Structure 1
Amino acid sequence: MKKTLVSALTTALVVGAASTTFAAASPFSDVPAEHWAYDAVAQLAQDGIVNGYDGTHFRGDRQVTRYEMAQMVAKAMAKSQNVTVSGNDKALLDKLAAEFADELNNLGVRVANLEKNADKVKWTGEARYRYWSYRDENAAGKKSKDNIDHVSFRLFPTAEINDNWSVKARLTSNFLMNKDNTGTTELSYIFAEGNYGSLNVKAGKMPFYSTNDDGLVMDDFFSGVQATVGSKVKLTAEAGRWNINDRANVAVTKEANKAVPAVKDVASYQGVQLSAEQGKLSGGLGYRHFSSEVFKTASGYKADKDDADILSAGARYTFDKNWAVAGAYAENTDAKSYKKSGSAEIDYKGANKANKGSFGASVAYRHLGSNASLMPTFDTAHANVGTGHDTLNEKGWDFSASYVPMKNTLTTLGYFNGKQFANHNDKAETLYARVSFFF
């Protein structure tokens, strides 16, 4: 969206509302005293919001780029911090900040609070298509092929309560295109979030992500409370319940190589993680405890043991804007088998959905034991959610590439080649793809 002089004048009038008079003279030769916009342009120049071109021309009939407009809005925002601005003009400036949020962020201008106050409820969303093709082969050479087409539609409302608290939620609709089913719609999570300086508090049903190991152990939801304190070094403590029935995987099956049963159980959960960032290096440690009767009959567990205690660690080193390496390890100290998971990854560049033409690629070696990786974040492992296909207890190489063909559209293509160590090293091969549209 391009704007002409009118936009510039809007910004000028917002910050000029606190002034009693406009500037006495305009520095631009192409804005004479009799010009209808003379006073506003003079005020712009006096306030340092516009500099003109070559020092003498304003060129008010020229269309302004979004970047140029963002620069003017940024300067207006800075001025509004030191003068009294009326309620209507403040609201107008907030809306301008929200409109040019991406450009302002690129300029290093903090606009989160302005965006939040511009509207009490803000909606974002994602429409996503995912495809998997599993091509396995057993020791006798018998091959199997299973294709899955999955579509999801997500809405993310954020409601402002006051300066410190907000409510966040996610509405999700899922269906399988290859089965042409009616699908399901659910409230995936809803929680209240409070921010007090370096302290962040959440309560409700919320995303459950093992940040310290970059999702090797968990990427799901849990109901409870979470508190995080710190900036460069963060300590997170959380407690609540994890619904095993909602996200059943091989860790709660009675036999590792059979379909997941409808387990009606909720595990109590307590966890703590420490994460830190110093220059190009980041990483962390985590401990998570689950307790449920389900574990007593789960494959690979010690007899009559109803606990799962999982320790994990991870680190990432960023060499430059193009290259980074990452690694993570997790172990369930209560399990007899399938108790270890690990991941080593090399990343090149990175696709940013806001930047058309950006791209990234990665290669990784993964070892996913079901009793350590209860619900990992990787596409190959996540496919078992709602599809009936078990992709845990596998090890092998994972290749992926992402590309942004147009703004707010992210595409990913991946390939996994490895073995099922839970099933006598049968071959495991997976093709997967994803297309996401963000709004």
Structure 2
Amino acid sequence: MKKILAIAAAAALTAGVSAFAANPFSDVSTDDWAYQAVSDLSDQGVVEGYPDGTFKGERNITRYELAQIIARLMAKEDQLNAEQRATLDKLAGEYADELANLGVRVSNLEKKVGNLYWSGDARMRYKDNSYDKADGWDGRMRINVKGQVNDSTTINGRLTYNMNFKGNDGNNAGKVTIKDGDDSASFGDDDNGVYMDILNVKHQFGKDVAVTLGRYANNFGNQGSWRFGDSHDFDGAELSYGANKFNAAVGFGRFQTNYNSNTTYTIDDNGEITKTDANALIDDQEALYVKAGYDFNFAKLTADYLKFENNNDKLNDELYGVDLAIPFGKAWNLQGEYVKNTTTDYSNDDAWNVGLQYSTLNWKKPGTFGLGVWYNDIGSATYLGGSGLSTNILDGIAANKGDNELKFWNVIGDVTLLKNVNLHAEYAFGADLDKGSDPDDAWTVSLNYKF
């Protein structure tokens, strides 16, 4: 598409936004049929010319250039009427990959106040726990904020609040326990207050390279499985690269506490105080990681490397992971993952899982759904704490420390009930723990909301 035609189409989205604009480019005359469109969009900051003052309207526009225009139009979304916003949503969906590389969140629900962008999610969840733990009913709200410092730099934050509606379900979020010999006392409630679990600055160098500094979610492997999700946050620095079908990242820093754990302070006979965070097996440990992925069209391959600098008795210092996803048909996906700890003395030093999924899930389209079934075989030397799952089936690995192995099945389902309203369910069953009591079946169901 010629650049001049694309600009004329974009101008239709901002009709009425600008009333007057001066001639900005030397190669666009007042007699040109697209003069008014080019001038208006230039005045609004939607299009830019070249350093020599020209527009070059007859040159073919690239997808990346058009994505830049769409991103700037999204910043003016509150000035558009319903029809214009609908058209902009379609454009944003078509150019989602390019907008992602620009750091733009594709959603007509994202709100902009000045140079701040707001979005969020909420969850209401019921859990039927394993290991004779009481069932749980909890809620969570997260508010995301992005501050646009300039065209290449953003400040990103996320505020989170967790609430237990049914009292303590065994997670003790926000609990503090002090032990002195056989005596103990607990303080706090089952809610953990508002905390900021993400706070970082991201600087983009061109469209392919970025540097992130601060606290960010650090995920490994596929997130429909046993490996931990963003419940473990990471304080550090990451250099990332993404172009076409290849992406890579390298980072260094410290893992931070799982916020759904309780804290125990133990006082010994000498008055020394020891702090313990339950379920936070890698809390405050320095780590170096490397990740890379490539989309071969017929399959997606990702790999990761994780090296700890300050080890504890549970986890040794070097792990490798690989994940392969093979799509087939329009909605099917076969996925498998393998992880190995190369430095432990445990015989159960690796883990793997395989899953089959069917998904047409789209948060904007009621009735779309996804369903997957997974088989997991987890060696204790690879378990870092936390989980990408919502059930507590992995508590057996954490509670029975040492050389151990857990095998289990889990089914995960999602359906869009209303626009931006999702029903999520998980069921873990058939668990076999090598040493210790086998876990009972566990399940969870939740309503999830995006805004």
Whether these two folds match at TM > 0.5 is: yes
Matched position secondary structure for 1:351:
coil
Distance change (3 Å), C-alpha of 1:167 and 1:425: same
CA-atom RMSD, angstroms? 3.9
State the partner residue of 1:330.
339
2:366 to 347, 356, 363: 356
Contact 2:122/2:448, CA 8 A, preserved across alignment: yes
CA–CA separation in structure 1 for the residues paired with 2:91 and 2:308: 43
Letter in 1 for 2:390: D
Residues 230/122 of structure 1: CA separation in 2 closer, same or farther (3 Å cut): closer
In 2, distance between residues paired with 1:376 and 1:262?
11
Give the Cα separation in 1 of the matches to 2:382 and 2:405: 10
Q: Kindly indicate whether the alpha-carbon contact (under 8 Å) linking 1:419 and 1:425 is maintained by their aligned counterparts in 2.
A: no
1:121 matched to 2:116:
yes
Distance 1:10 1:213 in 2: 38
Gaps (5+ residues) in structure 1?
1-7, 21-45, 48-75, 137-143, 250-258, 302-306
In the other structure, the counterpart of 1:429 is: 441
Distance across 2 between alignment mates of 1:261 and 1:106: 39
1:148 aligns with 2:136: yes
Instruction: Give the aligned residue type for 2:449.
Output: F
Give the superposition deviation at 1:160. Answer: 0.5
Deviations 1:338-389 (A, max 9, x none): 43221101110242212222111111111233431313312235986xxx98
**SS of residue paired to 1:405:** strand
Letter in 2 for 1:86: D
Q: Distance in 2 between matches of 1:182 and 1:202?
A: 33
CA distance in 2, matches of 1:86, 1:266: 50
Structure 1 15/393 Cα, relative in aligned 2: closer, same or farther at 3 Å?
farther
CA contact (8 A) 1:17 1:85 kept: no
User: Which residue of structure 1 aligns with residue 199 of structure 2?
Assistant: 190
Q: How has the CA–CA distance of structure 1 residues 14 and 93 changed in structure 2, closer, same or farther, with 3 Å as cutoff? A: farther
Call closer, same or farther: CA 1:414–1:10 in 2, change over 3 Å.
Answer: closer
Aligned pair in 2 of structure 1 residues 330, 88: CA closer, same or farther (>3 Å)? closer
Please tell me whether the aligned partners of residues 393 and 442 of structure 2 are also in contact (alpha carbons under 8 angstroms): no
Residues 115-134 of structure 1, C-alpha deviations (whole Å, 9 max, x = no match)? 89884101111111222212
Deviation at 1:411, TM superposition (A): 0.9
Number of residue pairs matched?
349
CA distance in 1 between counterparts of 2:242 and 2:45 reads 37
Cα distance in structure 2, aligned partners of 1:412 and 1:275: 28
Q: Distance in 2 between matches of 1:89 and 1:284?
A: 37
- Distance change (3 Å), C-alpha of 1:428 and 1:81: farther
Aligned residue identity for 1:208: N
Separation in structure 2 between the aligned mates of residue 234 and residue 358 of structure 1, nearest angstrom: 29
1:104 aligned to which of 87, 91, 114: 91
Bigger drift between 93-102 and 120-129 goes to 93-102
Partner residue, 2:254 = 241
TM-score norm. by structure 1 comes to 0.68
Distance across 2 between alignment mates of 1:106 and 1:395:
40
Partner Cα distance (1:119, 1:382) in 2: 45
Residue 387 of structure 2 aligns to a residue whose secondary structure is coil
**Aligned counterparts of 2:448 and 2:429: Cα–Cα separation in 1:** 24
Confirm or deny that 1:224 pairs with 2:242. Answer: no
Within a 5 Å distance, the mapping from 1:272-421 to structure 2 comes to 272-293=290-311, 295-296=312-313, 298=314, 307-335=316-344, 336-374=346-384, 375-380=386-391, 394-421=406-433
Contact 1:402–1:412 (CA under 8 A) maintained in structure 2 = yes
Cα 1:207–1:135 shift into 2, 3 Å: closer
> Bigger radius of gyration, 1 or 2?
1
> Equivalent of 1:163, from 140, 143, 151?
151
Whichever residue aligns with residue 279 of structure 1, its letter is N
TM-score, reference length from structure 2: 0.67
Q: 5+ residue gaps in structure 2? A: 1-10, 24-32, 48-71, 169-188, 263-276
Structure 1 pair 157/403, CA: closer, same or farther in 2 (3 Å)?
Answer: same
Report what 1:25 is aligned to. none
Q: Distance in 2 between matches of 1:127 and 1:270?
A: 32
